[in-house]
Each structure stands twice: as C-alpha cells, then as structure tokens.
Amino acid sequence: MVSYRCPKIKTRLPGSKSKRLIARDERFVSQSYTRTYPAVISHGKGAYLWDVDGNCYIDFHTGIGVCSTGNCHPKVVEAIKNQAEKAIHIPSADFYHEPVGRLAEKLSAIVPGKTPKRTFFSNSGTEAVETAFKLARYNRRKPRTIAFIGGFHGRTMGSLSLTSSKLNQRRFFAPLVPEVTHVPYAYCYRCPFNLSYPKCDIECVKFIEQEILQKVAPAEEVAAIVVEPIQGEGGYIVPPPEYLPRLKALAQKYGILFITDEVQSGMGKTGKMFAMEHWGITADIVVVAKALASGMPLGACIASRKLMSWEPGSHSTTFGGNPIACAAALVTIQLLENGLMQNATRMGGYIMKFLKGMMKQYEVMGDVRGKGLMIGIEFVKDRKTKKEAPELTNQIAYECFKNGLMLLTCGKNVIRFIPPLTISQRTTDQALDIFERAVEKFQNKRKVR
C-alpha cells in the first residue's frame, strides 16, 4: 500500500514558490475567479492534492465537485492516454466517432425514464444548461422559464439568467435573457414562507401554481421549469420528500417541460447516479457536467428522441463531445457503477453520523444536510435566531486549509463536503478530525450545554 504521509503542511502558507507564482498570476490572469486559498496546486492523486511547495492536502473540494473518481484514477488516465494516441480532436459536429456514440447510448440507458434518449455534448455545465434552455424553447415555442431563488446554472448569458445564487454573479450584466421568473426553493431550514414541514403542505409548489402561474407567468407561455434536485452553489439544500414529485406533477399538468440540472448533484455523488432518483422522478431534459468525465471538460444535455429532434445546425459546437472526454466519461460511469456509488452511500452515512454527533456539541452548526457524499454544514450565530455566520464559515474553511483539508463553501454560510467517491475511512477520519478542531477553535465559547 502506498503511504502518502498526507495531509502534511510543511511550510507557512503560502509557501515561497506559491507566493511567486501567485504574484505572476495576479498580474496576468483574470481576477474574476474566486480563488479562496493561496495554494498553487502542482498535482493530485486520489483524495490528495499537493502544492508546489510540497504541502499535501486532503481533497474534500474535488475541483468543485469534479474529481469524483479521485484525481488521476489509473483507469481514467489509461483511457485518456489510449484515446489521445488515436485522435485528440474529432468534431462531433461534423464527424461520427465511436466514443461519442457509445457514451450517448450509455446515458440513454442510465438517465431515469424508459424512453430512449439522445444527448447533446458540450464542454461545461453552463453550455449544457444553455442547450437545455434552447431545446425547451425550440420545442415549446414559448418565451417564459421558471427558475429558483438560490439556483445556480452557470455564467454564460442564458444560464446566468436562470442563476440567482449570489448578486456578484449577476451584477452589471443585465439585461439578461428576458421572461425568467425566479421562485422560492424548498429551503426548509429557512422556509421562505415562514412555515414548517410537513405542516406547510409544500406551500412552495402551491405558490407557483396559485400565484406565479396566475399572476406573473401565464402557464401557456411557460416553456420550462429548471431546477436543481439538490441546490448546490445555493447552499447544499435538500428539498423534502414531496417537493420534486409535486413540482414535476405541476409541470406535467400545464405541459411545461421539466428540466433537472444535475451538473453538481449528478454522477453518483449522492449514492445514486442522479440525485433525482432519490425522489423517484424523471425529467424531460437532464443536464450533467462536472464529474461526468472525471475532470476532462464535458457537459451533456439529455432528452427524449422526440424532444431532441431539432434540425441540423440549430445547435452545435466545435469541441463538445471530444473523444478523449467521452472515453474518460465511459470509464467514469463504469467505476461509479462498480462500487463508487456504494462507497458514496457508505461514507456519506459515516460522515453524516459524525456531523450529527458534532451538532450536539456545537451551537454554531445550525443544520447538517445532504445525500451520499454531497454534504453541507450551515453555520449560524446561534440556533435560536439562526442568524447566518458567513465570517465564521470562512474562518473554519481557512483553518481547515491551513491544516491540510481543502474544502469549499457555498451559499453565504455553508461548508460543503464533496470528497472523491473513492475516499477511505482512514482519510475521512483525518479530514473530520481537522474539521472538528477548526470548529472547536472558532466557537468553543458557544458549545451546546
């Protein structure tokens, strides 16, 4: 067994090499990226990342939820190498090639729903969402779309119009695509209607029917509802059991296309291939990216053959469906099906139990939620007022970084755990220990008595 002696932080952070490289980066690279940590990563293996100064971190970040099979999984690397030796680029727009057809066939089989499906491939999540947006309009010839407050769908103009997660993502970019109506999501911990589940009778879905479709967006003008089965960037928000089935039924009742954005929640992270499977629903259009190809850039928009029968040239791409990315995706799916999703369920349960235990001690942990290895911890000033604690959240995340655990935040005050699905119990224990010590350090005066 390889011993990585990790995590190990052996320099002050950032180390001297990192500092030099960061200085150059700041001069020449767009400063719109949200770099949280001053770390210049040189390489990664499995659940570990190394920076250029030789510091080693446990990776609970996975490149924003991408490296679900771990960084550089040998089987993924092999598939990439093999394909790279044959052809690096074959435009799926102009030529047929085997990996793209095989992958589309596989997606048709694994995306929930019995009808045979077709896939449009892109390079990223945002492009996959653009595809879904356009496909809905193309089919329905209707101008309106319903999306959700707190939702994140990407940053190109179409997907940005659906996004409403943080103001800095939208500020100064208007006018966006018109006729997108944002409605409250089922955020039970902070119910937008001030109700509590289950007494609420899922008011957030009733509201769409009784208020939005009656007073704002006539149902006959609405092409699609676009929803994340679990809100990701918005704060790892898991809706209650009835929510998605009721939303889907509402869409069906009015002939509105139901689009699920599984860019973050899909590809095994939650213990099922697609998060929507936890609620037993199907969608008219499904969007995936991120973990689909273990880090090779690939997005996919999947819909029934009937919906995806737009005319040649109506939507296309130069790079989307790149053969190397498709080869990596085929292996990724195989790995997910052959044990990694089970490990996500197992280790997710283990982490959740640990965090629920921590909640008994730490008042600032307002809520812990998630499915499989997609877990969010919401930090508050105290449990009674539930006042958000963004500063504390960032302090804890940064303390974890300083001790060798790479994490990401989301929403205003949530730390997310998205480790690779290959994670072992030993590494998980190390990560949880670092996390607990960080929480302890910043809030030990406010323990639950």
Indicate which single residue of 125, 268, 271, 419 sits in contact with ligand PLP (rule: CB under 6 A): 125
Q: How far is the CB of 182 from ligand PLP (least distance, A)?
A: 15
Question: Quick one: tokens of 390?
Answer: 């963004």
221 CB burial (10 A radius; 0-12, 13-18, 19+): middle
Cβ contacts of 235 within 8 Å, gap of 6 or more: 150, 187, 376, 378, 410, 411, 412, 413, 414
| Window contacting ligand PLP (CB under 6 A); options: 97-105, 137-145, 226-234, 440-448 | 226-234
Q: How far is the CB of 67 from ligand PLP (least distance, A)?
A: 14
Q: How far is the CB of 163 from ligand PLP (least distance, A)?
A: 8
Question: Quick one: tokens of 17?
Answer: 């090499």
> For ligand PLP, how many residues bind (rule: CB under 6 A)?
15
**Nearest of 413, 416, 409, 357 to residue 387 by alpha carbon:** 413
List, in sequence order, every residue forming a beta bridge with 260; answer none if it has no partner.
227, 286
| Window contacting ligand PLP (CB under 6 A); options: 52-60, 122-130, 179-187, 331-339 | 122-130
| Window contacting ligand PLP (CB under 6 A); options: 121-129, 219-227, 378-386, 429-437 | 121-129
Nearer to ligand PLP, 176 or 358 (CB): 176
Helix (H, G, I), strand (E, B) or coil at 138: helix
Helix (H, G, I), strand (E, B) or coil at 377: strand
Indicate which single residue of 53, 130, 203, 261 sits in contact with ligand PLP (rule: CB under 6 A): 261
Query: Dihedral sign, CA of 248, 251, 255, 260?
Result: negative
Q: How far is the CB of 358 from ligand PLP (least distance, A)?
A: 26
360 CB burial (10 A radius; 0-12, 13-18, 19+): exposed
**Nearest of 44, 99, 47 to residue 68 by alpha carbon:** 47
Q: How far is the CB of 320 from ligand PLP (least distance, A)?
A: 12
Q: Where are the beta strands (DSSP E) in 114-238?
A: 117-122, 144-148, 180-183, 222-227
In the range 400-439, which residues lie near ligand PLP by CB under 6 A? none
| Window contacting ligand PLP (CB under 6 A); options: 12-20, 71-79, 104-112, 260-268 | 260-268
Contact flag: residue 126 with ligand PLP (CB under 6 A) = yes
Indicate which single residue of 51, 53, 130, 228 sits in contact with ligand PLP (rule: CB under 6 A): 228
- Longest CA–CA span in the chain (Å) reads 66
Nearer to ligand PLP, 200 or 230 (CB): 230
Site string for ligand PLP, 134-163 (x = CB under 6 A): ------------------xxx---------
Nearer to ligand PLP, 302 or 389 (CB): 302
Backbone angles phi, psi at 407, to 5 degrees: -130, 170
Cα Rg of the chain (Å, integer)? 22
Nearer to ligand PLP, 14 or 154 (CB): 154
CA distance 45 to 72: 6
Contact flag: residue 263 with ligand PLP (CB under 6 A) = yes
In the range 40-79, which residues lie near ligand PLP by CB under 6 A? 64
Question: Chain centroid to CA 150: how far?
Answer: 13
Nearer to ligand PLP, 53 or 228 (CB): 228
Closest-CB residue for ligand PLP? 125
Indicate which single residue of 264, 393, 413, 422 sits in contact with ligand PLP (rule: CB under 6 A): 264
Backbone angles phi, psi at 444, to 5 degrees: -65, -10
Is residue 365 within 8 Å of 377, Cβ to Cβ?
yes
| Window contacting ligand PLP (CB under 6 A); options: 125-133, 314-322, 366-374, 413-421 | 125-133
| Window contacting ligand PLP (CB under 6 A); options: 54-62, 190-198, 225-233, 251-259 | 225-233
Cα separations in angstroms, 27 against 30, 402, 409: 8, 25, 26
Contact flag: residue 124 with ligand PLP (CB under 6 A) = yes
CA distance 326 to 159: 23
Contact flag: residue 232 with ligand PLP (CB under 6 A) = yes
Residues that bind ligand PLP (CB under 6 A): 64, 124-126, 129, 152-154, 228, 232-233, 261, 263-264, 289
